[in-house]
Structure 1
């Protein structure tokens, strides 16, 4: 199988953080950095660096498990829209995507244009994927409005958005514990690590970059370095 990892499965938010991008955001340059500056300043304009974001936007455990995939061909990308090009290098097969979003359909804009929110659905429709599994992180169990909180509700929301033959090739599941449910490295043909800066706390970029180095991930599209203080 192919393994896709969205950093927003680990760089997340606490419950009831109403300006958290997990609830929906665009993927503009402002959303990738400027919006995070605004969040930090709103919380404490005098706090150094990104420290004002720590309480509301933690780095959840479980990402450490990903280091077991070192040695498997790995690619790092800026956004999940880049998964469309990544998949083109492989025969159609199965993908496990660890993510805070199913990426099967976008609720606005041109549905035929590849975006972070619809690459998986378009890939299923185009025959670039046979089967698709979205593995939500365990911390979604504490966020009642998150996709991964109520999997039956989330699947029902997909019914009007996807053809029946596409939806029957989709599995939605959630980690039982941090890092649980990930495949044996022997079963993974290649890995894609996605930064998703519009959705992930800049304070966690250093860990993200270190993970990319551990995996020896070659860049498909260069991620952002947002380590400079706000």
Structure 2
């Protein structure tokens, strides 16, 4: 595995980036045990604590799995894939239920309080989302879709609501990934244009209904 010697600033972030790239390129296939802490520390020229922190971060994101007494194994090739593996069943339902609570009120507030510049940002994100869907760019679609929903909430100008939602970013992104078909170009995805237009029309009732509608559809699909 070709790993570059790290610089002496931001060591943990650099090690995370290099390990992530090694996984992405297939240097360590899914299910394979990666080198031990001492081996990685010697290869990268950093301390074992730095390696431990980087591995912990990648384990938290779902790329790696630490098995006590056995070693660390590759679990997924990307954070999105790892999120899908972690989030399923009853946990996914709980995340969608919390999203519904926050996003319905966020959409209602956005319809009343959004600025023209924020509306343009929403339209731009929606266009990016549609483009990613048409071109079957799964990772981009998940990222932009999650950003779209955060932006809707932020347009409501309720700082506490926005920060509560932002604090759930990882779980929300995982829920988007878990409810999205990887064959984007061949699958019918949930449309969000109604949310954008309701916010544009400054119609809080319709905006709330649009936000609730697609989440209710996702929840019904879990039954």
Normalising by the residue count of structure 2, what TM-score does the alignment of the two structures yield?
A: 0.23
Q: Which has the higher helix share?
A: 2
